Structure 1
Amino acid sequence: MSLLCLEASARLRSFTGAAHELHLTQGAVSRQIQALEQRLDVKLFIRRREALALTDAGRYYLDEIAPLLQRLDRATANVMAFKGRGGALALSVGASVGAYWLIPRLPDFTREHGEITLNLGTRVGPVDFSASPIDASLEFSDGQRPGLRCDFVLPLVLSPYAAPSWTGLHGRTLDADTPRAALIQHGTLPGVWDEWFIQDGIPGGAGRDGPRYEIMSMALNAAVAGMGVVLLPGYMAEDHVAAGRLRRLSRRQLRYSKGYYLVYPEEAAGMKPLQIFRSWLLGQSEHGPGIQQTVMRAA
């Protein structure tokens, strides 16, 4: 209760306002804060007549516990609403794998598990679970996240694609004579064209002249517009190939050193919605169920 009093008092800048929201007396809220300050041996609030203000220690402490309070509030709401049979799962997903691989498969999950609500968001880079109400993340990484569980879900296997308008001018063969300025770069895949050409015995550095796009979906759209050749996974390119907007320029594939992992804190592993989603997700992988799990712990 003292933590709830802290959060409400800080947000409303008033013990009276917090008391009204929490259905307590103003004195009860004040005593809860005083007891918490005594236990921590720090002052959490500067008590002013016009409004309360957090001390530096109070602001730090509230920033640390806010995600835990949000998770607690969501867990309480889920239990009340679903009686332990389901609930909501807050999931962060990489933009490209989310839009082109995960979301087209979600209708199956929804039909099988209508008791679970998936709330999806996206962000660039790894999730900081200590500062976010996110439960789990499907993210592009090497699976080395100290202190977190990382389940391998999907490899990133790439092939070269270009629009018919581009191949009409430059041919459908990708080799040492391909214009280097036409090799579209991914901001998230540094050096990927070098890896591709090194496999053909062409020295590194051969693929660094083309335009650079921050995310894979932008690189895809640039290729569809005829701006060059792009390395893409099949799940992003296949619909465009079927519609005649892209052509695959090689049967060869490149498996990138990183892949997609389901990442979540140790304490979230017991969440029923996460357990159900994890089992379903690993079943969607090209490798099927039974993926080896890597648990990385902080030293």
Structure 2
Amino acid sequence: MRRNIPSLQSLLCFEASARHLSYTHAAQELFMTQSAVSRQIQQLEDFLGLSVFNRARHGVELTEAGKQYVKSIKPYLTGLEKCTSDVMAHKGLGGTLKIGVVPTFATRWLLPKLNRLNEQYPEITLHLETSTKPFLFNDNIYDAAIFAGTEQQIQHWPGIQAHFLMNESIVPVCSPKLIQRYFPEAKPVSNNAYQLTPEQLVQLPLLQQTTRPTIWQEWFQAQKIQHEKSYLGQRHELFSMLAVAATHAMGMALIPKMLIESELQKNELVLASTQPLEGARKYYLIHSSQDVSPMMLKFVDWMKQELLLSQEKLSHHAFLRRH
């Protein structure tokens, strides 16, 4: 079936002319004559059945329809250019995966491990885009997403294949300086953990996460601790922001343990209590269930390898602390 789209040449001429507001400058950029560019614009207007430019004293001006159209087609022309560059660079043997990921998971867990992906699969180029909002494959054109959510959300997400990565185990952490400031006699129960009493815990200032305003209330309820001001404290959007605030002794924060492994090992953060909040949220790698590429299968396999490696490291560190 013939697609109802104009020629690529006319679109390129239109985009360049819209950028320069000049057929002459567009022609110079595209190594064409001014008259050839003008003919391509005329063909485009004939195809659309409307004008995209009006003649001006020193060139051309976009019509309202032209302004809307150039804004709409620009991302697709850029995408075509990127796809062409990718296939040329990889000689058809690899390519690019565009992965949507929540910000803190990207910076704290995924990025430090990507050198091993490059070593194992040099033919794959990864493009990461972060968002705190739900990922929509059709709208954002992601190849896959790393998503933190519930099993119910996954079950009601049509047209996707989900790979479970890990549970979200959230722990209360703060700087050891904060504990010493409030409770100078407190002693750690291990290298990076205290077991503060309920009376002590309710005295520490809290750091809140903007996107999860009830998280402290959930943790205190799970521990059967009465805290009348569990909703008070500085608010930050990302776990990474909470971690920085907590390391500077600004308060106690609830953060997934896997995202603060470095701070815990360096003793920049310590557990204020060893009781985690085992929430309903889990981390999944999600992609379309249709036309799964060999590159995607390799990426899924690599993610599973990295999870096993992380679990082995955590078990080793726990063994060393006990002995």
TM-score (norm 1): 0.78
Q: Which residue number in structure 2 is paired with residue 107 of structure 1?
A: 115
Q: Would the aligned equivalents of 1:94 and 1:138 in 2 still touch at CA under 8 Å?
A: yes
Shift of the alpha carbon at 1:115?
2.2
Q: Which residue number in structure 2 is paired with residue 195 of structure 1?
A: 218
Letter in 1 for 2:255: L
Q: Would the aligned equivalents of 1:197 and 1:206 in 2 still touch at CA under 8 Å?
A: no
Question: Sequence identity of aligned pairs in percent?
Answer: 33
Letter in 2 for 1:251: T
Q: SS state of the match for residue 24, structure 1?
A: coil
Letter in 1 for 2:112: P
For residue 118 of structure 1, the aligned residue among 101, 126, 130 is 126
Could you say which structure has the larger radius of gyration? 2
Q: Distance in 2 between matches of 1:49 and 1:149?
A: 54
Verify: 1:210 aligned to 2:218, yes or no: no
Q: Would the aligned equivalents of 2:51 and 2:63 in 1 still touch at CA under 8 Å?
A: yes
Q: Distance in 1 between matches of 2:72 and 2:211?
A: 30
User: Is the alpha carbon distance of 1:148 and 1:154 closer, same or farther for their aligned partners in structure 2, counting shifts above 3 Å?
Assistant: farther
Q: Would the aligned equivalents of 2:108 and 2:260 in 1 still touch at CA under 8 Å?
A: no
Aligned length: 286
Q: SS state of the match for residue 182, structure 1?
A: coil
Q: Distance in 1 between matches of 2:87 and 2:50?
A: 35
Q: SS state of the match for residue 252, structure 1?
A: coil
For residue 42 of structure 2, the aligned residue among 34, 45, 67 is 34
Letter in 2 for 1:235: M
Q: Which residue number in structure 2 is paired with residue 230 of structure 1?
A: 253
Q: Would the aligned equivalents of 1:186 and 1:212 in 2 still touch at CA under 8 Å?
A: yes
Measured against aligned partners, the alpha-carbon deviations of 1:138-166 in whole angstroms (never above 9, x if no partner) come to 45556579788574544432111122222
**Worse overlay, 4-13 or 85-94:** 85-94
Letter in 1 for 2:220: F
Verify: 1:87 aligned to 2:95, yes or no: yes
Q: Which runs of 5+ in 2 are unaligned?
A: 1-7, 187-194, 311-323
TM-score (norm 2): 0.73
Q: Would the aligned equivalents of 2:100 and 2:129 in 1 still touch at CA under 8 Å?
A: yes
Q: Distance in 1 between matches of 2:68 and 2:220?
A: 50
Q: Which runs of 5+ in 1 are unaligned?
A: 289-299
Q: Which residue number in structure 2 is paired with residue 45 of structure 1?
A: 53
For residue 171 of structure 2, the aligned residue among 142, 146, 159 is 159
For residue 207 of structure 2, the aligned residue among 181, 184, 191 is 184
Shift of the alpha carbon at 1:80?
1.6
Q: Distance in 1 between matches of 2:42 and 2:81?
A: 23
Q: Distance in 2 between matches of 1:251 and 1:241?
A: 13
Shift of the alpha carbon at 1:193?
0.8
Letter in 2 for 1:281: M
Q: Which residue number in structure 2 is paired with residue 280 of structure 1?
A: 302
Letter in 2 for 1:21: E
Q: Would the aligned equivalents of 2:161 and 2:288 in 1 still touch at CA under 8 Å?
A: no
Letter in 1 for 2:173: Y
Shift of the alpha carbon at 1:106?
1.0
Q: Would the aligned equivalents of 2:208 and 2:233 in 1 still touch at CA under 8 Å?
A: yes
Q: Distance in 2 between matches of 1:271 and 1:68?
A: 21
Shift of the alpha carbon at 1:73?
0.6
Q: Which residue number in structure 1 is paired with residue 19 of structure 2?
A: 11
Q: Distance in 1 between matches of 2:137 and 2:71?
A: 12
Shift of the alpha carbon at 1:104?
1.9
Measured against aligned partners, the alpha-carbon deviations of 1:30-55 in whole angstroms (never above 9, x if no partner) come to 22222222222222222324132222
Q: SS state of the match for residue 157, structure 1?
A: strand
Letter in 2 for 1:159: V
User: Is the alpha carbon distance of 1:274 and 1:58 closer, same or farther for their aligned partners in structure 2, counting shifts above 3 Å?
Assistant: farther
